[in-house]
């Protein structure tokens, strides 16, 4: 990953990236997306905090995503955010829609049921 960044930027070049929603969106989706104002937030793959059943509290830094087929995948929040920031900085095309902000955009959907671990 670092070699790709070095190839695409000059030595000593700093790329500023807005961190908006980078830790709430799954980094596993690497498809190209266009910046469309009418894309509903409900269609994005939002990550949810994981709740420990034993301690009855959230597990720090652990997020989950449940697919349509009821398959739950777990993600490290910080690693996922770093990969999303990379997508914004060196990815082809415009910034991914799910990581954009604009006036009048509806709020993120309510978290609903959190993922659970034993």
Rounded Cα–Cα distance for residues 109 and 89 (Å): 26
Q: Write the DSSP symbol of residue 106.
A: P
Tokens of 56: 């009855």
**pTM metric for this prediction:** 0.58
Q: What is the pLDDT of residues 54-111, one digit of tens each?
A: 777 778 888 888 777 778 888 888 888 888 888 888 777 777 777 777 666 656 555 5
Helix, coil or strand: residue 50: strand
Dihedral sign, Cα of residue 73, residue 77, residue 79, residue 81: positive
Domains of the chain, residue spans: 18-100
């Amino acid at each position: 990953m670092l070699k790709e960044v070095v190839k695409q930027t000059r030595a000593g070049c700093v790329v500023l990236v807005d961190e908006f929603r980078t830790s709430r969106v799954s980094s596993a989706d690497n498809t190209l997306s266009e910046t469309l104002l009418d894309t509903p937030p409900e269609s994005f793959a939002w990550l949810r905090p994981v709740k420990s059943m034993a301690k009855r509290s959230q597990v720090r830094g652990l997020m989950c995503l449940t697919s349509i087929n009821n398959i739950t995948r777990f993600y490290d929040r910080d690693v996922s955010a770093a990969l999303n920031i990379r997508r914004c900085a060196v990815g082809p095309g415009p910034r991914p829609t799910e990581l954009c902000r604009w006036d009048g955009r509806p709020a993120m959907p309510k978290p609903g049921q959190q993922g659970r671990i034993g």
